């Protein structure tokens, strides 16, 4: 193993253990992560109090397999699904209602999807849960007042990874290609190659092996075609998150009919999702156009 005597042994690329851990710790780029987590919860609670919501709708048999659904005012609406981040270990749907603030009044339905967290659940199980939740929404689209041909996915950080795993072409029970089922996806600050992550502190509750990291790395398993994508990253991110973003954007370029690649200079890993429903921003504008919404 190469070694830089000033730093210690290199464990991945040019990074020793301390540097690699820091690269995969987005909170290293912000003064206080709790400010953002508290805002997720507070904005989400205000959104649930202001809008009509069906809370805790079960999509599977396990207690964690639920979603919060915000119906649109009119039937036949597009649906935006949000899958939260938290390194598959933290947060939940109760922290994830805030993107409904402007998307629902503009004419869309919205769903915040919950899933089980590590270490209680293995990553393979979490991927399966999110896929089940999305399949439930597709199957029940008509009764939810949703246009089944206008279901759009979005996710932040670990949620972006889970959304991309749902766009792989080897899991749907009816055999349909995900690119024919989902109208588009928005991927924010995702981790798409889990091999370097496997070598960091993040893997302690996940327990990924070299084999499972490869199987759970969607950038290594992309199908031949994908729906329209918006791939976004905050400008205040680590070099490894930027590399992951760039690698994915390059890999999907020939597989999707439309790829919007966004780097938002003033945003970091945690506040980028606040732009998701704001049509005055580059990210929110792209989301509104993808959903076919007009900003009020």
The span from the CA of 60 to the CA of 137, in Å, is 11
Q: Indicate whether 208 pLDDT > 60.
A: yes
pTM assigned to the model: 0.96
Structure tokens at 210: 């070299």
pLDDT in tens, 250-284: 999 999 999 999 999 999 999 999 999 999 999 99
- The answer to whether the CB of 23 falls within 8 A of the CB of 238 is yes
CA-based end-to-end distance of the chain: 58
pLDDT in tens, 2-22: 444 456 799 999 999 999 999
The span from the CA of 186 to the CA of 228, in Å, is 9
> What is the maximum alpha-carbon separation in the chain?
65
Instruction: For the chain, give the mean pLDDT.
Output: 95
Phi/psi region, residue 272 (left: phi>0; alpha: psi -120 to 50; beta: rest), is: alpha
- Counting other chains too, the contacts that 279-288 makes at CB distance below 8 Å and 24 or more residues apart are 279/102, 279/106, 283/186, 283/188, 283/230, 283/232, 284/102, 286/186, 286/230, 286/232, 286/260, 286/262, 287/80, 287/103, 287/152, 287/154, 287/186, 287/230, 288/103, 288/106
Which fold is adopted by the domain 3-291? Rossmann fold (3.40.50)
Q: Where are the domains of the chain?
A: 3-291
């Amino acid at each position: 193993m190469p070694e830089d005597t000033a730093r210690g042994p290199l464990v991945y690329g040019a990074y020793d253990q301390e540097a690699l851990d820091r690269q995969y710790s987005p909170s290293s780029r912000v003064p206080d992560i709790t400010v953002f987590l508290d805002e997720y919860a507070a904005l989400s609670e205000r959104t649930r109090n202001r809008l009509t919501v069906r809370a805790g709708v079960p999509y599977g048999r396990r207690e964690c397999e639920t979603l919060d659904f915000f119906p649109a005012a009119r039937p036949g609406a597009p649906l935006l699904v949000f899958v939260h981040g938290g390194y598959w270990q933290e947060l939940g749907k109760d922290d994830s209602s805030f993107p409904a603030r402007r998307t629902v009044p503009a004419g869309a339905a919205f769903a915040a999807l919950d899933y089980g967290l590590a270490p209680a659940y293995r990553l393979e199980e979490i991927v399966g849960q999110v896929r089940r939740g999305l399949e439930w929404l597709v199957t029940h689209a008509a009764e939810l007042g949703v246009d089944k041909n206008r279901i759009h996915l979005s996710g932040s950080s670990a949620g972006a990874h889970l959304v991309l795993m749902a766009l792989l072409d080897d899991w749907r029970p009816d055999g349909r290609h995900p690119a024919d089922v989902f109208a588009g996806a928005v991927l924010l600050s995702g981790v798409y190659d889990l091999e370097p992550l496997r070598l960091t502190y993040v893997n302690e509750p996940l327990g990924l092996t070299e084999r499972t990291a490869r199987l759970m790395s969607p950038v290594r398993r992309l199908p031949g075609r994908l729906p329209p994508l918006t791939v976004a990253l905050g400008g205040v991110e680590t070099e490894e998150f930027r590399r992951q973003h760039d690698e994915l954007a390059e890999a999907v370029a020939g597989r999707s009919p439309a790829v919007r690649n966004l780097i938002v200079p003033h945003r970091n890993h945690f506040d980028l999702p606040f732009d998701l429903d704001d049509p005055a921003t580059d990210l929110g504008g792209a989301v509104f156009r993808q959903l076919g919404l007009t900003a009020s």
